A and B are shown apart, each in its own frame.
Chain A
Amino acid sequence: MYNHLVVDRLSTSFIALSDPTRRLILERLARGAASVNELAEPFHISQQAISKHLAYLERAELIEKRQQGRQRLCALRPQAMNEVVEWVEKCRDFWEQSFDRLEALVKEVQATENKSARRRR
């Protein structure tokens, strides 16, 4: 039902995602890589505070830092995000498939009950 191997990373991802500032950083990075300064700008918080948030995201492997010329840029890493989405998909899939069976069973029970109701008439 659950893929245990990816779960450790998942819980790190969940924690990284639990903060609104970090989610906004991710949304910003979805539009392209950015330097720490650029990321700090819209939030009116210190660069130090931003670095702390970035460390969370980096630990969860949701982002990576890379050197571009003289600048260090932050960029999204889609892999970890896809894992979270896949895991949720898996849970959803479990229920969808079970519900397909439930639906078939409802029809079966209805047919049986209709038949015995007719017999009683």
Chain B
Amino acid sequence: MRAAADSRLVTITRTLDAPRELVFRMWSRPELVTRWYAPRRCRLEVLRFDFREGGEFRYRISEPDGSGCLCSSMFTEIVAPERIVYTMWFSDEEGRFVTAASIGADPDWPDRTTVTVTFVENDGRTTMTLHQTVPESVAKRTGAYPSWVEMLERLSEELLKEDRSR
């Protein structure tokens, strides 16, 4: 998993005051997923939820301004209640991969990205960690580039500091 680790785009960790089994359940049942899997401002419709390896999770997310997208995911690894791995892409109504160009976006986008969620329980509390990789084709074209996001953040912070001191 070295390559995936190097192309990490987003890492989010959250510790919840609940046993792991319950936190895992939030990810594994459509009636529960519907209630949280998008920011509150968005409208989320779960169109398909087949929670098993190779199963599909298809949904539509709409922003308040009317924009939105249809996304599909395939679960590639499910180890209850420890770990869920799935690949996401933009899709048509049937869940088929669509290029960004066909929905009016840049042809380089979208791409498949992989999301890995792990659940670790400690003293009745559960730490949930999510990694999302950079889009696959970007990763392929650019190779492994550890921590460039951190580097950029550091640089832009430095630049902001400089701006302020001027």
Asked if chains A and B come from one complex, the reply is yes
Chain A interface (Cβ < 8 Å from any Cβ of B): 1-2, 4, 7-8, 11, 14-15, 17-18, 23, 26-27, 30, 76, 78, 81-82, 84-85, 88, 91-107, 109-110
Q: How many inter-chain contacts with C-beta < 8 Å in the A-B complex?
A: 123
The distance from the CB of B105 to the nearest CB of chain A, in whole angstroms, is: 4
Residues of chain A within 8 A of B38, CB atoms compared: 94, 98
Query: Are A7 and B106 in contact, with the CB atoms below 8 A?
Result: yes
Residue of B whose beta carbon sits closest to that of A4: B105
What are the 7 A-B residue pairs with the smallest beta carbon separation, nearest first? Answer: A18-B142, A97-B39, A4-B105, A101-B36, A102-B36, A8-B106, A11-B108
Residues of chain A within 8 A of B149, CB atoms compared: 84-85, 88
The distance from the CB of B120 to the nearest CB of chain A, in whole angstroms, is: 15
Query: Are A2 and B108 in contact, with the CB atoms below 8 A?
Result: no
25 residue pairs bridging A and B, Cβ less than 8 Å apart? A4-B106, A7-B105, A8-B106, A11-B108, A14-B141, A15-B142, A17-B145, A17-B151, A17-B152, A78-B160, A84-B152, A91-B10, A92-B12, A94-B39, A95-B10, A95-B12, A95-B130, A95-B132, A99-B14, A102-B23, A102-B36, A105-B32, A105-B36, A106-B16, A109-B25
Which listed residue, A2, A30, A98, touches B37 by the CB 8 Å rule? Answer: A98
What secondary structure prevails in chain A residues at the interface with B?
A: helix
Cα A104 to Cα B10 in complex, Å, equals 22
Which listed residue, A81, A88, A109, touches B10 by the CB 8 Å rule? Answer: A88
